[in-house]
C-alpha cells in the first residue's frame, strides 16, 4: 500500500509536468514580481565579502546566530556540529546550492570542513524556506542551513584571487581561485586550498599548565565549477574533492605520566559531483533538476601502541550515495503558485568491522506545496512524505534481510506572514519533521537496534520584525518566540560495559524559547557603522520519564541564556570588526548536578582590514587590489569549554594577504 502511494505520487508528478507545459501564459511582469517573494524570510543571513582576507569556517558564522549552538571539540582538526533551537544536529539540514550535504552513517555534518571562501551567503531557516523549485529534502528538514556559492562576475572576462594566511597554532593556509568566461553564458571556476595546523595550544589544568596534543590537521580541498546561462534558465556542474589527515585530541582527564591524552587519528577522502538545471518553460511552468553522486572514505585508528589505555581500533568505512531530485512549479494565478518535488536517494555503507552488516538504504521524499503572495499577506503550506527501506547483510546467515526495513512519515507545514505597515511584519509557522535513524543507530554491531522508529519533532514559532530609516540611520529589530517538542528521541543506553551501548526510542523533550535581535546602522560620506545585538532564552526540558531524577532538567549542552554583540566600522579602505559572545551555564548530562556543570564563558574577537588599490594591469579595465587583514580571537584569553573535557584555545591570531585581479 505504501509503495503504491509512492508510485502514485511519481505518476502524478509526470502527468503534472505534461499538463503544465500546455497551460496558457500570463503577464510576465505581474507573475515575476509576486511569485518570487518569500513567505518567510531567513531567521539569520550573512552576506559574505568576497574580498575578505581572513575567511572563516561556516561554523564560526553560525556561532553568532541566535538560537544556535556549535559543538566544538577544540583545535583546527576538531569536529564542529550545529544544534539549532535544541533540535540536535540530525534535524538540521545543510544545503549547498540547494542540494543537501548529508551523512547516512551518523547524520553528522562536520562544518569545520567548509570555509566561507567562494560563498556568497550563509542563511539559517528555523521555519520553512518558502521559495519556488525547492527539493523535497528542503521541505522535510527541521531547520536548514543554506550555503550559496558566489557567482563569478568579471568585466574583463577573467579574474582570480591568491591568498596566503598564517598564524598561531602553527597555521598555514594558502588558497587560490581563478574564474574564466569560456564562452558567452559559460564560466569556469577552479579553486584549491591547503590547510596545516599543529593544533598545539596551552590550557590550565588544575594547578599546572599543559599543552593540547594530537590536534593537528593537514587538508587539501580542490573544486571546479561550470556555470551556464541560457534563455529561460541556467545550469551548473560542481566537482568537489576534500582530503584530510587529522588527530582527535580527546577529553582531558587524569592519566598516568608518559601516556598521551589521545592517539586517535582519522583520514578522510570525500568526493562529490553535483549538478543542477533550472528552466522557465513559459510564464506559468518551471522545473529544476538536481543530481548528485558522493563517495566518502574514512579510516579511523586509535594507535593502541601509543596509548595502551585505548581500545584497539583500525577501521575503514566507505559510504556512497546517489541522489536525484525533480522540482516543478506552476503559476496558477499571479499571486498563487503550486510546487511538486520528488527526491530519490540510494545510500550504501561498507566496512571491515567484524560482523558489519553493510546496509543499503533507498529513500523517497515527496512534497506538494502551495504559496499565496499578496501585497500585505502571504501564506504557504505543504505536505511532505518520507519513506525509506533498508536492506542489510546478515553475516551469520550469509544472506540479505529486509526485516523491519520500512520506515515512513508524513510532515505537514503551514507558514503565514502579514505586513500591516511598511515597517512592521508578523510571521508564524508550524511544522512537523522526522529524522530517520542513522546507519550507526541501526546496524553498528556493538550498538545497533534495527527496529528503531524515526525521531519526530513539532516546531512552532513566530517573528515580529521592525525596520525603519531616519536620514542616515537604519534600524531593524526582531523578536522570535518558539516552541519545539521532540518525540521518540533516539538515545544511547549503556549495557554491561561502558563500551557496549544499545539504542532506544525513549526520549521526550519540550523546548521553549525566545530570540531577540536588534541592529542599527549609520552611513555618512565614507563612514559606515553597524551595531548588532542578539540574545536567546532557551528552556529545553527533559520530559522522558515522569518522576525520575532528571525529569524537568535542562537537556545537555543547552544554555538558558546566550547572546552576542558585534560592531562593524568601515572608513575609506579600512574595516574594523569587534565581536563579543557569551554563553551561560550548561550541563553535560541531563542530571543537572555540580559534577556535570559547565561554567559560563564570554569571548571577544577583533579584526582589522586594509585594502590597497593597485595601478591597472595591461589590457584590463578593473584595477587589481591587495587586501591585508589581521584577526585576534579570544582577545582577553578566556579559558572555557564548549564540550566538557575539551578546553578551547586561549588568545590566538591569524594574518592574511590577498591579491585580487
In order, the DSSP letters of 296-309 are EEEEEE--TTT-TT
* Model pLDDT, residue 416: 96
504 CB-near residues (< 8 Å, 6+ apart) = 449, 452, 490, 491, 493
Buried b (16+ CB within 10 A) or exposed e, 561-583: ebbbbbebbbeeeebebebbbbb
Instruction: Give the number of other CB atoms < 10 A from CB of residue 31.
Output: 18
Only one residue has cell 580571537, namely 633
Low-confidence ranges of the chain (pLDDT < 70): 1-36, 49-55, 74-78, 254-261, 309, 395-405, 444-452, 490-506
d(CA 478, CA 480): 6
d(CA 512, CA 11): 41
Distance of CA 317 to the CA centre of its chain: 23
d(CA 460, CA 193): 41
d(CA 266, CA 313): 11
* Model pLDDT, residue 76: 66
Q: What is the pTM of this model?
A: 0.89
DSSP string, 347-403: EEEEE-STT----EEEEEEEEEEEEEE-SSEEEEEEEEEEEEEEEEEETTTTEEE-T
* Model pLDDT, residue 57: 80
Only one residue has cell 596551552, namely 202
Structural domain range at position 186: 2-660
* Model pLDDT, residue 6: 44
* Model pLDDT, residue 407: 84
> What CATH number corresponds to the domain at position 585?
2.40.170.20
- Number of separate domains in the chain: 1
471 CB-near residues (< 8 Å, 6+ apart) = none
Amino acid at each position: 500500500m505504501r509503495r503504491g502511494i509512492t508510485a502514485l505520487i511519481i505518476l502524478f508528478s509526470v502527468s503534472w509536468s505534461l499538463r503544465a507545459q500546455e497551460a496558457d501564459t500570463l503577464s510576465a511582469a505581474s507573475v515575476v514580481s509576486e511569485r518570487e517573494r518569500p513567505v518567510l524570510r531567513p531567521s539569520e543571513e550573512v552576506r559574505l565579502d568576497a574580498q575578505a582576507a581572513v575567511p572563516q569556517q561556516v561554523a564560526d558564522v553560525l556561532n553568532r546566530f541566535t538560537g544556535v549552538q556549535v559543538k566544538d571539540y577544540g583545535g583546527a582538526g576538531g569536529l564542529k556540529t550545529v544544534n539549532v533551537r535544541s533540535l540536535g544536529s540530525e534535524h538540521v539540514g545543510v544545503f549547498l546550492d540547494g542540494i543537501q550535504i548529508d551523512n547516512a552513517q551518523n547524520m553528522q555534518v562536520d562544518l569545520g570542513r567548509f570555509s566561507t571562501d567562494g560563498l556568497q551567503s550563509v542563511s539559517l531557516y528555523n521555519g520553512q524556506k518558502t521559495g519556488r523549485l525547492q527539493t523535497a529534502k528542503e521541505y522535510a528538514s527541521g531547520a536548514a542551513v543554506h550555503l550559496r556559492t558566489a557567482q563569478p562576475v568579471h568585466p574583463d572576462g577573467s579574474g582570480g584571487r591568491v591568498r596566503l594566511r598564517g598564524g598561531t597554532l602553527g597555521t598555514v593556509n594558502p588558497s587560490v581561485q581563478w574564474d574564466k568566461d569560456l564562452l558567452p553564458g559559460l564560466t569556469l571556476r577552479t579553486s584549491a586550498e591547503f590547510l596545516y595546523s599543529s593544533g598545539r595550544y596551552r590550557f590550565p589544568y588544575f594547578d599546572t599548565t599543559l599543552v593540547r596534543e594530537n590536534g593537528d590537521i593537514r587538508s587539501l580541498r580542490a573544486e571546479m565549477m561550470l556555470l551556464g546561462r541560457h534563455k529561460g534558465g541556467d545550469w551548473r556542474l560542481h566537482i568537489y574533492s576534500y582530503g584530510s589527515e587529522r588527530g582527535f585530541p580527546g577529553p582531558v582527564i587524569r592519566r598516568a605520566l608518559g601516556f598521551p591524552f589521545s592517539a586517535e587519528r582519522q583520514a578522510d577522502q570525500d568526493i562529490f559531483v553535483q549538478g543542477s538545471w533550472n528552466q522557465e518553460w513559459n510564464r506559468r511552468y518551471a522545473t529544476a533538476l538536481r543530481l548528485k553522486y558522493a563517495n566518502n572514505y574514512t579510516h579511523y585508528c586509535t594507535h593502541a601502541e601509543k596509548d595502551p589505555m585505548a581500545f584497539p581500533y583500525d577501521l575503514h568505512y566507505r559510504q556512497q550515495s546517489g541522489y536525484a531530485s525533480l522540482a516543478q512549479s506552476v503559476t496558477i494565478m499571479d499571486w498563487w503558485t503550486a510546487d511538486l518535488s520528488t527526491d530519490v536517494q540510494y545510500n550504501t555503507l561498507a566496512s571491515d568491522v567484524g560482523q558489519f552488516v553493510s546496509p543499503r538504504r533507498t529513500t523517497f521524499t515527496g512534497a506538494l506545496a502551495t504559496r499565496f503572495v499578496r501585497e500585505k499577506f502571504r501564506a504557504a503550506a505543504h505536505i511532505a512524505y518520507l519513506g525509506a527501506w533498508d536492506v542489510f547483510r546478515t553475516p551469520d546467515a550469509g544472506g540479505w534481510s529486509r526485516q523491519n526495513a520500512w520506515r515512513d512519515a508524513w510532515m505537514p507545514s503551514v507558514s503565514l506572514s502579514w505586513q500591516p505597515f511598511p515597517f512592521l511584519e508578523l510571521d508564524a509557522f508550524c511544522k512537523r519533521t522526522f529524522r530517520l535513524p542513522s546507519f550507526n543507530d541501526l546496524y553498528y554491531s556493538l550498538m545497533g537496534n534495527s527496529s528503531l522508529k524515526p525521531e519526530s519533532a513539532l516546531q512552532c514559532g513566530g517573528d515580529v520584525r521592525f525596520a525603519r530609516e531616519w536620514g542616515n540611520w537604519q534600524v531593524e529589530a526582531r523578536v522570535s518566540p518558539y516552541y519545539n517538542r521532540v518525540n521518540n528521541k533516539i538515545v544511547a543506553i549503556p549495557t554491561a560495559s561502558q563500551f557496549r551501548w544499545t539504542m532506544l526510542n525513549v526520549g521526550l523533550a519540550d523546548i521553549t524559547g525566545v530570540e531577540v535581535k536588534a541592529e542599527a546602522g549609520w552611513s555618512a560620506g565614507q563612514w559606515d557603522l553597524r551595531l548588532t545585538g542578539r540574545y536567546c532564552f532557551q528552556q529545553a526540558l527533559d520530559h522522558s520519564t515522569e518522576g525520575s531524577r532528571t525529569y524537568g532538567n535542562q537537556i545537555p549542552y543547552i544554555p538558558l541564556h546566550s547572546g552576542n554583540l558585534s560592531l562593524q566600522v568601515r572608513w575609506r579602505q579600512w574595516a574594523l570588526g569587534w565581536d563579543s559572545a557569551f554563553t551561560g551555564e550548561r550541563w553535560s548530562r541531563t542530571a543537572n548536578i555540580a559534577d556535570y556543570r559547565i561554567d559560563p564563558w564570554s569571548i571577544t574577537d577583533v579584526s582589522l582590514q586594509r585594502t590597497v588599490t593597485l595601478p591597472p594591469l595591461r589590457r584590463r579595465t578593473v584595477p587589481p587590489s591587495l587586501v591585508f587583514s589581521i584577526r585576534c580571537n579570544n582577545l582577553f584569553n578566556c579559558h572555557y569549554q564548549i564540550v566538557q573535557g575539551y578546553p578551547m584555545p586561549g588568545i590566538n591570531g591569524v594574518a592574511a594577504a590577498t591579491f585580487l585581479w
